């Protein structure tokens, strides 16, 4: 199964994909997920059809799609 992670940031968004049966791709995506969530990004699991998302606390290589959003900054 292929997974997809979209990261939203000030430049737009970055898409990361992986094959859940390819351990190198899974670990690279997990590493990126971990770095971003440590920086305060929030992760949500969503369906490819755009259904409502649910918060994620850890990387799931079987997730169809994830969206990571940066922390809100007050001003």
Query: Quick check: 13 and 5 in contact, CB under 8 A?
Result: no
The pTM for the full model equals 0.86
Give the whole-angstrom CA distance, residue 62 versus residue 50: 17
In the chain, the domains with their CATH numbers are: 2-69 (3.10.20)
Q: What is the pLDDT of residues 14-71, one digit of tens each?
A: 999 999 999 999 999 999 999 999 999 999 999 767 677 899 999 999 998 999 999 8
Q: What is the pLDDT of residues 52-65, one digit of tens each?
A: 789 999 999 999 89
């Amino acid at each position: 199964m292929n997974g997809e992670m979209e990261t939203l940031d000030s430049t737009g968004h970055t898409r990361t994909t992986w094959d859940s049966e390819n351990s190198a791709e899974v670990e690279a995506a997990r590493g990126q997920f971990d770095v971003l969530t440590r920086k305060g990004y929030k992760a949500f699991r969503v369906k490819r059809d755009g259904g409502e998302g649910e918060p994620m606390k850890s990387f799931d290589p079987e997730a169809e799609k994830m969206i990571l959003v940066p922390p809100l900054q007050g001003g």
